[in-house]
Structure 1
Amino acid sequence: MPRENSFSDSDGRSLTPDLEDETGPAPASPTYAASPTSRLPSSPSKHTERTRVTSAASRPSAAGSRPAAASAGVPTMPPIHRFRHTVRKVMAMHRSTNVITGRGVGAEPGVDPRRASADAQFGGIKQDCVIEVADYSAVRSSFGRMTNREFVNFMNDPAASERESWVKVRWINIGGMSWDVIKAVSIKYDLHPLALEDVFHTRSQTRSKSDYYTRHLFLRILCHELSDSDEPAVSTFAQGSTLTDLPRSDSPTPFTDDDAEMEMREMGKGEFGDDEKTLRGTTTRRKGPLLPTTRPGAGSTRRNTTGPRSRLTELATLRDNAADANKNRRIEEAALKALKSGERVNVKVSPMFIFLFRNGTVISMHSTPNLELTQPITRRLRQRDTGLRTSADASLLVQSLIDLLVDKALEVIDAYHVKIKKFEREILLKPKITTVRNLHILSGDLILHKRTLEPIRTVIYGLRRYDVDRAQALIDTTAEGNENIKAVGFMSHKSKIYLADVFDHMEYILSSLEMFAGIGENLINYTFNMASYEMNEVMRRLTLATIIFLPLTLLTGYFGMNFTSMWSVTNHSDVVFWIIALPVMAIVLPIFVVPDIKRMIHYVQKRMLTKKAVKVRFLLSFWLHPG
Structure 2
Amino acid sequence: MSGESCVSGAEAETLASIQEVHVVEVPPTQGHTRASTSVDRRRSHSVQARKSIESRKTDRAPTVPQRSPKDRFRAAVRKVIAVHRTSSTILRGRVGAEPGVDPHRHSTFAAYRNIRQKCVIDVIDYSPVRCSSGRMTSSGFIQFLQNDQASDPEPWVKVRWINVGGISWDVVSALALKYDMHPLSVEDVLHHGGHALSKADYYPKHLFIRVLSHTLGSTNGTSQGPIPALSSSTPFPDVPRSASPQPLDEKLGILDPLADEFDIGRAAPIDPEMGRRTASLLAHRRRRVAAELTLDELKKEDRVNVHIKPMCIFLFRDGTVISFNSMPNLDLTEPIVARIRQQDTSLRRTADPSLLVQSLLDLTVDAALEVVDEYHARINALERAILIKSKVSIVRSLHILSGDLILHKRTLGPVKALIYALRHYDVDRAAASLDVPVADNQKVVGYMSHKAKIYLADVYDHIEYAMTSLDMYSAMAENLVNYSFNMASYEMNEVMRRLTMCTIVFLPLTLLTGYFGMNFENMWSIHHGHSDIVFWIIAIPIMSVVAPTFMWPDILRMYHQVKKRSLAQKITKRFKSE
TM-score normalised by structure 1 residue count: 0.73
CA distance in 1, matches of 2:554, 2:55: 102
Q: Secondary structure at the match of 1:363?
A: strand
Say if 2:244 is the partner of 1:251: yes
8 Å CA contact retained: 2:203, 2:434: no
Q: Which position in structure 1 is the counterpart of 2:60?
A: none
Which amino acid is 2:448 matched to? M
Q: Which position in structure 1 is the counterpart of 2:206?
A: 216
Q: Which position in structure 1 is the counterpart of 2:516?
A: 559
What is the Cα deviation at residue 103 of structure 1? 4.9
Q: Which position in structure 1 is the counterpart of 2:494?
A: 537
8 Å CA contact retained: 1:104, 1:249: no
8 Å CA contact retained: 1:94, 1:100: no
Q: Which position in structure 2 is the counterpart of 1:518?
A: 475
8 Å CA contact retained: 1:443, 1:520: yes
Match of 1:418 among 358, 377, 393: 377
Match of 1:585 among 527, 543, 551: 543
Match of 1:468 among 427, 434, 454: 427
What is the Cα deviation at residue 150 of structure 1? 0.4
Q: Which position in structure 1 is the counterpart of 2:29?
A: none
Say if 2:109 is the partner of 1:119: yes
Q: Please show how residues 320-359 of structure 1 align to structure 2 within 5 Å.
A: 320-359=279-318
Q: Which position in structure 1 is the counterpart of 2:506?
A: 549
Provide Cα deviations, 1:18-56, integer angstroms capped at 9, x if missing partner.
xxx999xxxxxxxxxxxxxxxxxxxxxxxxxxxxxxxxx
What is the Cα deviation at residue 197 of structure 1? 1.2
C-alpha change, 1:6 and 1:340, in structure 2 (3 Å) is closer
C-alpha change, 1:102 and 1:183, in structure 2 (3 Å) is closer
Match of 1:613 among 555, 571, 575: 571
CA distance in 1, matches of 2:218, 2:157: 39
Which amino acid is 1:158 matched to? D
Percent of residue pairs bearing the same amino acid type = 54
8 Å CA contact retained: 2:214, 2:308: yes
8 Å CA contact retained: 1:97, 1:251: no
Structure richer in helix, relative to its length: 2
Provide structure 1 residue ranges, at least 5 long, that are not aligned to the other structure.
24-74, 260-286, 290-307, 623-627
Q: Secondary structure at the match of 2:150?
A: helix
8 Å CA contact retained: 2:100, 2:187: yes
Q: Which position in structure 2 is the counterpart of 1:110?
A: 100
What is the Cα deviation at residue 326 of structure 1? 2.3
C-alpha change, 1:498 and 1:314, in structure 2 (3 Å) is farther
Which amino acid is 2:242 matched to? S
Q: Which position in structure 1 is the counterpart of 2:363?
A: 404
Say if 2:156 is the partner of 1:166: yes
Which amino acid is 1:527 matched to? S
Which amino acid is 1:485 matched to? Q
What is the Cα deviation at residue 288 of structure 1? 13
C-alpha change, 1:222 and 1:82, in structure 2 (3 Å) is farther
CA distance in 1, matches of 2:429, 2:572: 66
CA distance in 2, matches of 1:81, 1:384: 72
Match of 2:532 among 560, 574, 578: 574
Q: Secondary structure at the match of 1:219?
A: strand
Q: Secondary structure at the match of 1:373?
A: coil
Which amino acid is 1:451 matched to? R
Q: Which position in structure 2 is the counterpart of 1:64?
A: none
What is the Cα deviation at residue 232 of structure 1? 5.8
CA distance in 2, matches of 1:551, 1:457: 70
- How many positions carry a matched residue from both structures? 500
CA distance in 2, matches of 1:229, 1:381: 32
C-alpha change, 1:351 and 1:160, in structure 2 (3 Å) is same
Provide Cα deviations, 1:297-344, integer angstroms capped at 9, x if missing partner.
xxxxxxxxxxx944xx44434433332232112211211112112132
CA distance in 2, matches of 1:418, 1:218: 35
What is the Cα deviation at residue 153 of structure 1? 0.7
Match of 2:414 among 445, 450, 455: 455
What is the Cα deviation at residue 472 of structure 1? 1.5
Which amino acid is 1:589 matched to? A
What is the Cα deviation at residue 492 of structure 1? 0.2
What is the Cα deviation at residue 375 of structure 1? 0.2
Q: Please show how residues 293-442 of structure 1 align to structure 2 within 5 Å.
A: 309-310=270-271, 313-442=272-401
Which amino acid is 2:515 matched to? Y
What is the Cα deviation at residue 248 of structure 1? 3.2
What is the Cα deviation at residue 159 of structure 1? 1.0
Provide Cα deviations, 1:568-627, integer angstroms capped at 9, x if missing partner.
1111221211111111111100111101100011112222222333344555xx4xxxxx
8 Å CA contact retained: 2:362, 2:459: yes
Provide structure 2 residue ranges, at least 5 long, that are not aligned to the other structure.
1-7, 26-46, 57-78, 248-257, 259-265
Q: Secondary structure at the match of 2:301?
A: coil
CA distance in 1, matches of 2:9, 2:323: 45
Which amino acid is 1:319 matched to? T
Which amino acid is 1:394 matched to? P
CA distance in 2, matches of 1:162, 1:501: 34
Provide Cα deviations, 1:504-554, integer angstroms capped at 9, x if missing partner.
000110111111111111111111211111111111111111111100110
CA distance in 2, matches of 1:102, 1:454: 31
Q: Secondary structure at the match of 1:250?
A: coil
8 Å CA contact retained: 1:97, 1:253: no
Q: Which position in structure 2 is the counterpart of 1:444?
A: 403
8 Å CA contact retained: 2:192, 2:238: no
What is the Cα deviation at residue 477 of structure 1? 5.5
C-alpha change, 1:101 and 1:83, in structure 2 (3 Å) is farther
TM-score normalised by structure 2 residue count: 0.79
What is the Cα deviation at residue 230 of structure 1? 3.5
Say if 2:466 is the partner of 1:509: yes
Say if 2:552 is the partner of 1:594: yes
Provide Cα deviations, 1:490-515, integer angstroms capped at 9, x if missing partner.
00000000000000000110111111
C-alpha change, 1:608 and 1:230, in structure 2 (3 Å) is closer
Which amino acid is 1:408 matched to? A
C-alpha change, 1:560 and 1:142, in structure 2 (3 Å) is same
Which amino acid is 2:452 matched to? S
CA distance in 2, matches of 1:108, 1:317: 25
8 Å CA contact retained: 1:137, 1:392: yes
CA distance in 1, matches of 2:172, 2:401: 37
CA distance in 2, matches of 1:394, 1:22: 58
What is the Cα deviation at residue 453 of structure 1? 0.6
CA distance in 1, matches of 2:179, 2:86: 23
CA distance in 2, matches of 1:469, 1:341: 45
8 Å CA contact retained: 1:353, 1:364: yes
8 Å CA contact retained: 1:381, 1:388: yes
What is the Cα deviation at residue 130 of structure 1? 0.4
C-alpha change, 1:217 and 1:237, in structure 2 (3 Å) is farther
Q: Decide which moves more: 390-399 or 508-517.
A: 508-517
CA distance in 2, matches of 1:396, 1:562: 100
